[in-house]
Amino acid sequence: MTAILVVSSGLAGMDWKIEQRDKPPPDQQLLTNYEKHEATLNQLVEMVKKDKGLTRVDTDWTDPQDPTTIGVSTERINEYRRLLREVRVPRGFSAWSQAEIDFLYWGIGSAVSDDVTKGYAYLESAPQNLAESLDGYKRPPTRDVVKVYRHIRGNWYLFYEYLPG
């Protein structure tokens, strides 16, 4: 009887962990992390601005695929990855324009499903779609791309993004 209870409570705990992984972390978790790592996040922004043409660094890939073609060394990519791990955004950044650099703190999805991402955005100008909180954000019932921001301070924001698969 005891063994059954242990297995039962173990399975219940596993269900809870899986359920939690499917939900974005609370804003406060990201804000606490931001406060701890603000200087390093600012350092990363300066690096991205300097390395024009480098639009993505992830754990095991970059865009462009060979960053040396734009003058970014392997050592520099390794430095990005070290700093990104330090600030707890190991999935890296997206910088499709110099006006916005997104640091991916949490995400779920795949090439064949909807994607949801939550993280930090460095923006050159304030966005229009601001919210007081991203916790429990309910996207509209459409299949449109949605991106909502919460201001931290200065050019820094939290963001929540939904991309239909």
Quote the pLDDT of residue 110.
Answer: 83
Domain membership flag for residue 85: yes
Is the C-alpha dihedral spanning 30, 139, 122, 100 positive or negative? positive
Burial of 103 from C-beta contacts in 10 A (0-12 / 13-18 / 19+) = buried
Domain membership flag for residue 5: no
3-state secondary structure 103-124: EEEEEECCCCCCEEEEEEEEEC
Q: What is the pTM of this model?
A: 0.85
Average pLDDT (136-153) is: 92
Domain count, the chain: 1
CA nearest to 158, candidates 124, 132, 126, 121: 121
pLDDT tens readout for residues 50-73 = 999 999 999 999 999 999 999 999
Domain membership flag for residue 8: no
Quote the pLDDT of residue 89.
Answer: 96
Domain membership flag for residue 78: yes
Domain of residue 79 covers: 25-163
